[in-house]
Amino acid sequence: HNGVDVQRFNPARPNRLSVRANLGLRDKEIGVIQVARLNRLKDYETAIRTMQIVCRSAPNVRYFIVGEGEERTKIEAMIRDVNMANQIRMLGLREDVAELLEGMDIFLLTSVSEGIPLTLIEAMSAQLPCVATRVGGIPEVVHDGTTGVLSDSGDCNKLSEALLKLIQSPSVRQRMGECGRKRAMELFQ
């Protein structure tokens, strides 16, 4: 298994309000974040289509993409083509991921192939519920229904259902986040 320094991620989120203010997130808005290389294996096309569906039902959701890679121009074009520039922001490569996670509500990972993703472990360490695809080692990290929700890769309908369930239920987000942090501390530090 991979591991992270779980203590770097503060579940009390002391910087939450300042991170959200810096990102332009308002009080009632839900922050969804994906931290991953910008390449085809991370399947940002499915992520963007998923967010289109989500934002039709929950216009208060904002999606943040953290990372760099060879598909940046393609992803930017997709965002423009589906008129989601107000809901989706690309933040580029960042050194402050632990702080960014404090300001978020849900972590998303739409990979079509994966090992044991450190970004999921980091999100769980930050006490975020995870919505991810059921590929590679992801099911070893995220327990479906306990620390997050898993879906088949490419299934934007199921991914959007999972996100909407979490968006509509702060208590489920909190419970899954707490279970995720506990799991990260027990298995991945």
- Which pLDDT value is given to residue 40? 96
55 pLDDT more than 90: yes
HSE (CB half, 13 Å, CA atoms) of 167?
24
- How much is the average pLDDT of 50-65? 97
Task: Return the closest-CA partner of residue 149 out of 102, 110, 118.
Answer: 110
- How much is the average pLDDT of 134-163? 97
DSSP-derived letter for residue 16 is H
Assess contact for 118 and 2: CB atoms under 8 A.
Answer: yes
84 pLDDT more than 80: yes
Using DSSP, state whether 151 is helix, strand or coil.
strand
1 pLDDT more than 70: no
39 pLDDT more than 70: yes
Q: One-letter amino acid identity for 44? A: Y
Please state the separation of Cα 72 from the chain's center in Å.
18
- Which pLDDT value is given to residue 25? 96
Interacting residues of 56 by C-beta distance below 8 A, sequence separation 6+ = none
CA pair distance 186, 181, nearest whole angstrom:
9
Assess contact for 12 and 177: CB atoms under 8 A.
Answer: no
Rg value, the chain, Cα: 15
Interacting residues of 6 by C-beta distance below 8 A, sequence separation 6+ = 125, 181, 184, 185, 188, 189
Answering whether pTM is above 0.85, one says: yes
56-72 as b/e: b if 16+ CB within 10 A: eebeebbbbbbbebebb
Q: One-letter amino acid identity for 181? A: R
Dihedral Cα 129, 134, 139, 142, nearest 10 deg = 0
Kindly give the pairing relationship between strand 148-151 and strand 88-92.
Answer: unpaired
